[in-house]
Amino acid sequence: MQIDLIKIGERAMKILPWVIVLVLASMLFTECDDNKVLEKNLKYQTTATTYYKNKLGSVSASNEALQYTKKQLKENLLQKDDSLKKLASEFAKVKSIVKWKTKTEIDSILVPFEVKAPCDFERSGITQNKWYEFNWKANQDGFKVSDFKTFNETTVITGMKRKWFWGPQTITTDITNTSPYYKLPENLQSIETKEEVKWYQSTLFKFGLGAIAGYLITK
């Protein structure tokens, strides 16, 4: 079978303008879509967290999720948060990031002495550092802690990890606390729903479609 290069060239020149229009339209559509996502993110960044009573009878915290491309994630989030950037560097590909701050408050804790001190006295003070703060008072009757507060920030990152550059990837969830006094969860389970690939989205179908298109062009 002889291939008529002139005819192929003529057909290619006829198709080329349409291809260029399609590429430009796709780029414009993508840019507009990215701008809409950025506007949406700016809105959600200022949206307060809401709380509601769930079907278990407990309270859930809820907020709208931000959506970033890989480039936007790097420029708008990771470059502005060095700690988050270091945690994200553990992953070959980041799929989701969840962050929240926790402040635990206890009004007061009284520890009475089983045997009262033989003399009257009173000492009080304030203890404060990066991770906790409280007021304390001790006298002949016992020891009291009041206005006790602890502070912590939790980061949850889910993404693809691999042990070496060409190694197999595994989807992994990492949880990190800033405070050394907060224990990490035990028996951690991370579940993600996997989208089913339709037959027309398969690599085999795309390859076959490309081969057929190439054959028709050469005819």
Residue-averaged pLDDT of the chain: 79
The span from the CA of 67 to the CA of 211, in Å, is 35
Query: pLDDT over 90 for what percent of the chain?
Result: 42
CA nearest 99: which of 48, 183, 157?
A: 157
How much is the pLDDT for 5?
Answer: 53
Let me know: does 109 contact 132? Beta carbons within 8 Å: no
pLDDT greater than 70 at residue 201: no
Q: Which two tokens stand for residue 97?
A: 């990031």
Q: At what angle do helices 5-45 and 203-218 cross, to 10 degrees?
A: 140
User: Picking from 66-75, 113-122, 147-156, which range would have the lowest pLDDT averaged per residue?
Assistant: 66-75
Domain boundary assignment for the chain: 1-44
Q: Outline where the chain has alpha helix (H).
A: 5-45, 70-76, 82-88, 203-218
Number of other CB atoms surrounding residue 177 within 10 Å? 15
Task: Please tell me the total number of residues recorded for the chain in this structure.
Answer: 219
Burial grade of 204 (CB within 10 A; 0-12, 13-18, 19 or more) = exposed
pLDDT greater than 90 at residue 128: yes
Phi, psi of 57 (to 5 degrees): 95, -5
Model confidence pTM above 0.85: no
Q: Which two tokens stand for residue 44?
A: 């959600």
pLDDT, tens only, 134-183: 999 999 999 999 999 999 999 999 999 988 777 788 889 999 999 999 99
Greater pLDDT, 88 or 202: 88
The span from the CA of 189 to the CA of 208, in Å, is 40
How much is the pLDDT for 2?
Answer: 45
Instruction: Give residue 212's identity as a one-letter amino acid code.
Output: I
pLDDT greater than 50 at residue 27: yes
pLDDT, tens only, 3-26: 555 655 566 566 656 556 566 655
How much is the pLDDT for 83?
Answer: 92
Query: How far is the CA of 94 from the CAs of 15, 30, 83, 167, 171, in angstroms?
Result: 38, 21, 15, 17, 10
How much is the pLDDT for 1?
Answer: 43
